[in-house]
Amino acid sequence: MVTTPAIVVAAPSSGSGKTTITTGLIGALRAAGHRVAPFKVGPDYIDPGYHAVAAGRPGRNLDPNLVGEDLIAPLFAHGAAGADIAVVEGVMGLFDGRITDAPGTGAGGSDQLGLGSTAHVATILGAPVVLVVDGSGHSQSLAAVLHGFLSYDASVQIAGVILNRVGSPRHELVLRQACDRVGLPVFGVVRRDPSLAVPSRHLGLIPAAERTEEAVAAVDAMTGHLGAALDLPAIVAAARRRAVADAQPWSPAAAVSPGASATPGGEGADAHPAGVPARPVVAVAGGAAFTFGYAEHTEMLTAAGADVVTFDPLTDRLPEHAAGVVIGGGFPEEHAEELSANTGLRADLRAHAAAGRPIHAECAGLLYLAAQLDGHPMSEVLELTGHFGPTLTLGYRDAVAVADSVLFRAGERITGHEFHRSTVAVAPDVEATPAWAWRDAAGHATTHGIVTASVHASYLHVHPAAVPEALHRFVSRAREVETDAGARGMPRAGRSPDGRE
């Protein structure tokens, strides 16, 4: 059996510098000749973008809240294929996770491990933890902090410490002594260096996809700095002490296998009219405005029988022969003027929806389908108005589908995640069908999002591996509508990415 060496980078609290340390560690290991598989605990989209730049392969998420505990090990094995070491960045503090309603409902029945916490994922993987400590506020008392983390739950194996934001040599000596007192080795000391900071804005770090050259330069700086500061052989040795063998890897093809029509050459493969692609084209929005997406999404769309084409809504028209459109999360409010100026694509999307071709929109995609965003005309597929505001909406939602749609069937239940500072309002004279219903923190029933005959749009981010039937359903709908349109000789609204008719 294969056991991919793995290390989990955690911290006592948020703001300790995990992302910088993790990104630099991934880059340094790669520079040393390792094939590194990068992961992030939780629903975060931004950190995996920096991991991907450092590793040269996709950054992936491991979130038991979104996909369930049973899928974590298979998704890890899938993402680690071909790697000789995996680096997993934690979320928040080591034991911070989703608060459960009843005692005994945490990982393995333990109330100590928050559901979906870094500790929870580390125990599932059997991977040792390296604790990143922000040394700027610590002295001898660090020993007591570390003792607490070591004794809190015996199922979590803390292998060592990285001391971050350390001041003088004297400060380093005191912190090392504190680590020695509790028997934890120090795997590296990182000095305070403002140049290692990554620019942030209202939802966290600026995505790597928006800062392509700057992101590469930032990752190079982290790689060089951390490569010199860390004891890489000691970290690799700790990673090799992982206690659990790899699970059977998760398979996109197996996940979306309910129908033979999902595969090229399967049932119905000869039913396509002349000129209609046997595999429907699903256009996925990318570029600087739409950077949020899970790597498994395009893998599953492809496995379900689609040809996935990426387009940039800032500059492109809808790709040629697009039978389905996916518009994920991102920052449309930062690019509203450019998005509004692309009138050709806005018209393409309206025609696409009117023809019954499916559209799946999450968060930023919901805003882009609206009539306007803070006064800037958007695609006008939905009669909504979007506004950016000061209030952050954040958290997991246990939701139920209100109506049948191009993705879900009424009554289907999922766990998703919200993360936005904008709001949308339906036009007063419009009777909209909501996409989801759930109970808020006060227990009050609420509805959210919007569903039409061809559109499913909401703020809720859903991990595709948790809803394979929805991906299969979406691709099947795209194929059916395209086949029907081809049989009736209907024109297609889409254009090639360079704007050709």
Active-site annotation, residues = 363
**What would the two tokens of residue 15 be?**
């703001």
C-beta atoms surrounding 148 within 10 Å: 11
- Residue 357 C-alpha from the chain's centroid: 26
Give the C-alpha separation, 194 to 413, whole Å. Answer: 45
- Cβ-count burial 451-463 (b if 16+ within 10 Å, e if not): bbebbbbbbbbbb
Please, which residues have CB within 8 angstroms of residue 22's CB and are 6 or more apart in sequence?
9, 38, 47, 51, 87, 89
* Element housing 41 (H / E): strand 36-41
Outline where DSSP puts E strands in 179-321: 186-191, 200-201, 204-205, 281-285, 307-311
Please, which residues have CB within 8 angstroms of residue 332's CB and are 6 or more apart in sequence?
289, 290, 339, 364, 367, 368, 373, 378
**What would the two tokens of residue 113 be?**
């491990």
Is the alpha carbon torsion for 468, 473, 478, 480 positive or negative?
positive
Strand partners, 329: 292
Outline where DSSP puts E strands in 108-196: 129-134, 158-166, 186-191
Give the torsion through C-alpha atoms of 310, 314, 315, 316, to 10 deg.
Answer: 40
Burial of 189 from C-beta contacts in 10 A (0-12 / 13-18 / 19+):
buried
Q: Helix (H, G, I), strand (E, B), or coil: what is residue 150?
A: helix
61 neighbors 303 (Cβ within 8 angstroms): no
Find tokens 């970290």 and name the residue: 235
Find tokens 């600087």 and name the residue: 288
